[in-house]
Amino acid sequence: MLMILLISSCSGSQELKKPGPSWKMVAGGTHGGIIENTDLDLIQPISPDAFSGATRVGVQAGVHYEYPLRRISLEAGMDYFVNSQVFTYQDDFPRFYGTRNLVTSQIRFPLAVNFRFFKRVQEDGLLEIRLGLSTGLVFYGLKDHGEQLPSYTSYLFSMGPLLGADLFPFHFESGSALGFSFELSRSFQKAYDDYYQVGEMPGASYLKFGLVYRLKRK
């Protein structure tokens, strides 16, 4: 914030120019996949350690197109996420023992409205807050290790709200900019179902973070 204020004080007298459309390339990490049930009290009888899940950080990349409309802009694009999860089963009652490794791949199509701030510092805005909808397809690669594991059902389509932010502290003479991107979303629908997913809806989610490059020519 101190850096933003310093830039603003040095550039506040610049004439505000009309921004043009631009392309965005994003890449970095992601954390998400299936939101597993954590309220095992709904399953009886069950021991405290009968079921657990762990999610690992994955990778993400995408291409977006942004079109400005005065103080806001419209943004659409395509993202690809990959991350893995591990479900562990140690349940004596149904005799489920072992692990299930899931590789979750998501192809997302976000559509959002960007609210641009500090436009007197940079004509495209130094900071963007993004609100919109993320639709996509979720694919699963599963590998089971154990004598007996519960059956499951997976769902292909996913849709949910998104909230994100882009900060562009580095600008170039060509009009392009480099910055940091953050976004999260959670689906309205179920993504995965099995014996233990009876409480909290096991939807698909993601938290993505990384670098964003805004390509633009003056």
Q: Where are the domains of the chain?
A: 17-215
Confidence of residue 16 (pLDDT cuts 50, 70, 90): very low
- Which carries the bigger pLDDT value, residue 108 or residue 205? 108
Determine the Cα–Cα distance for residues 207 and 155; give it in Å rounded to an integer.
20
Break the chain down into helix, strand, coil percent, rounded to 5: 5, 65, 30
Tokens at 149, concatenated: 């594991």
Question: Mean per-residue pLDDT for 173-196?
Answer: 89
pLDDT above 80 (res 40): no
Task: Please report the pLDDT score of residue 7 as a whole number.
Answer: 42
pLDDT digits (tens, 9 = 90+) for 85-96: 998 988 888 888
Question: Mean per-residue pLDDT for 95-111?
Answer: 93
108-117, 119-128, 188-197: which has the highest mean pLDDT? 108-117
Task: Please report the pLDDT score of residue 39 as a whole number.
Answer: 67
CATH fold label, 17-215:
Porin (2.40.160)
Confidence of residue 12 (pLDDT cuts 50, 70, 90): very low
Nearest to 68 by CA among 134, 133, 128: 128
pLDDT above 70 (res 8): no
Ramachandran angles phi, psi of 186, nearest 5°: -145, 130
Question: Mean per-residue pLDDT for 180-194?
Answer: 90
